[in-house]
């Protein structure tokens, strides 16, 4: 499967094209819109979310809610474009307005301006913006629906916000409850503490990041490869997670903790009772670059949003004089949005791996082939 995305944060629309879907996959548009709404929710989000109410419009590749095996294209309209038309219209606009030259540390602004020969960082930030991830949530939800037909489920939650971390390992069945909570955290006391911290940071003009855990259940063993290193499942999933804006670290299973432990406390011993079993899952469901049939456990760290309302020290690229960075958005934290986006990119990367192994031009072939795997 292949996803191509296009669009700017304040442009007319966001567009996506998914190639490689088999025919007769039932598309639940209501579920797609529900995940788009979850992406816009969460404690600490700013005013942009009150303007946009994202909904997907499928343009091609689906008839009567079933895929046709042709490219599935879709759009998400930017409602805020009406407020930006005179500054963003591709047909012609006043580019002297809404320029950004006070480049923001931690953003793509300065490096992008230098790389692409621009004098206005808006020509960089509009595409680098995390607004683009709405497209990936749509594609990821379609991938989730594909995987669900095979019995593969994906969920996740927020484990920590700005150092306030919940150390508990929860059973898969409990995790979906987190989406009913303001910060997608399962420990109520930790969540209240984190919300209070976000209130304090907002008053100070500061921001926060967090720690997110994604879990995958029901994937059979053997997806990925130990023969071609570009096809290692952990590399593909970690690469997908790292492609999300603001994600700075990813681990599978014990991850970085494994470096501090002896081997007997890291590796999962193997047993046989008619099927091969492991009593622990420190590997996070992946060994030798391949799924081993256990739950896949992936954690990602999100850095604090780099646009601070109080502004960090920077340089104005027009005057080369020191100044304070421009304020472009008002989120204090977007860790809940990041959790939904991470679920989505993991789902799409996993669906790609599954479809490459199974093939199949229609969903009947796909499900029959998956059913024959050990």
Please report which confidence band the pLDDT of residue 45 belongs to, taking 50, 70 and 90 as the band edges: confident
Tell me how many domains the chain contains. 1
Identify which of 88, 86, 91 has the alpha carbon closest to the alpha carbon of residue 129.
88
Check whether 47 has a pLDDT greater than 70. no
Strands 66-68 and 23-26: antiparallel
Please report which confidence band the pLDDT of residue 50 belongs to, taking 50, 70 and 90 as the band edges: low
Is pLDDT larger for residue 328 or for residue 97? Answer: 97
Alpha carbons 119 and 186: distance in angstroms, whole number: 46
Q: Where in the sequence is the domain holding 237, given as residue range(s)?
A: 2-371
Helix axes 29-40, 335-358, angle to 10 degrees: 140
Check whether 90 has a pLDDT greater than 60. yes
Contact 298, 214 (CB under 8 A): yes
Report the mean per-residue pLDDT for the chain. Answer: 95
No. of helices (H) and no. of strands (E), the chain: 11, 18
DSSP 46-79: -THHHH----EEEEESEETTEEESS-EEEEEE-T
Alpha carbons 96 and 265: distance in angstroms, whole number: 60
What phi, psi does 180 have (nearest 5°)? Answer: -90, -5
pLDDT at 308: 83
Alpha carbons 16 and 2: distance in angstroms, whole number: 10
CB neighbour class for 92 (10 Å; exposed up to 12, middle 13-18, buried from 19): exposed
What phi, psi does 75 have (nearest 5°)? Answer: -135, 150
Q: What is the model's pTM? A: 0.95
pLDDT digits (tens, 9 = 90+) for 302-357: 999 888 888 899 999 999 999 999 876 668 999 999 999 999 999 999 999 999 99
Identify which of 339, 343, 305 has the alpha carbon closest to the alpha carbon of residue 41.
339
CB-based burial, 221-236: b 16+ in 10 Å, e otherwise: eebbbeeeeebbbbbb
Lowest model confidence (mean pLDDT) among 79-88, 184-193, 282-291, 345-354: 79-88
Alpha carbons 193 and 162: distance in angstroms, whole number: 11
pLDDT at 310: 81
Contact 161, 336 (CB under 8 A): no
pLDDT digits (tens, 9 = 90+) for 155-185: 999 999 999 999 999 999 999 999 999 999 9
Q: What is the mean pLDDT of residues 226-245?
A: 97
CATH number for the domain that contains residue 117: 3.60.150.10
Alpha carbons 148 and 152: distance in angstroms, whole number: 5
Check whether 49 has a pLDDT greater than 60. no
């Amino acid at each position: 499967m292949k996803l191509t995305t296009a669009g700017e944060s304040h442009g007319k629309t966001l567009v996506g094209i998914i190639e490689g879907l088999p025919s007769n996959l039932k598309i639940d548009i209501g579920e797609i819109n529900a995940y788009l709404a979850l992406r816009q929710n969460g404690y600490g989000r700013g005013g942009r979310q009150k303007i946009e109410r994202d909904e997907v419009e499928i343009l091609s590749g689906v008839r009567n809610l079933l895929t046709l095996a042709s490219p599935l294209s879709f759009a998400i309209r930017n409602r805020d474009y009406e407020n930006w038309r005179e500054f963003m219209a591709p047909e012609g606009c006043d580019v002297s307005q809404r320029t950004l030259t006070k480049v923001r540390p931690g953003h793509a602004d300065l490096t992008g301006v230098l790389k692409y020969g621009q004098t206005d960082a808006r020509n960089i930030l509009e595409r680098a913006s995390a607004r683009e991830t709405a497209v990936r949530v749509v594609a990821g939800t379609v991938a989730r629906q594909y995987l669900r037909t095979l019995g593969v489920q994906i969920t996740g939650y927020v484990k920590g916000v700005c150092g306030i971390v919940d150390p508990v390992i929860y059973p898969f069945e409990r995790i979906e409850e987190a989406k009913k909570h303001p910060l997608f955290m399962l420990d109520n006391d930790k969540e209240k503490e984190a919300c209070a911290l976000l209130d304090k940071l907002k008053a100070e003009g500061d921001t926060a990041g967090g720690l997110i855990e994604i879990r995958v259940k029901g994937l059979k063993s053997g997806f990925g490869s130990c023969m071609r290193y570009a096809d290692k499942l952990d590399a593909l999933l970690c690469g997908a997670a790292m492609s999300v804006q603001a994600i700075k670290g990813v681990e599978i299973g014990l991850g970085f903790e494994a470096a501090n432990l002896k081997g007997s406390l890291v590796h999962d011993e193997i047993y046989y009772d008619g099927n091969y079993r492991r009593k622990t899952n420190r590997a996070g469901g992946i060994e030798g670059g391949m799924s081993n049939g256990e739950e896949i456990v992936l954690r990602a760290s999100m850095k604090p949003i780099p646009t601070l309302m109080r502004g960090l020290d920077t340089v104005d690229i027009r005057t080369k004089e020191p100044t304070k960075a421009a304020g472009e958005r008002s989120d204090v934290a977007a860790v809940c949005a990041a959790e939904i986006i991470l679920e989505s990119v993991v789902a799409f990367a996993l669906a790609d791996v599954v479809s490459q192994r199974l093939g199949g031009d229609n969903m009947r072939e796909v499900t029959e082939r998956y059913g024959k795997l050990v």
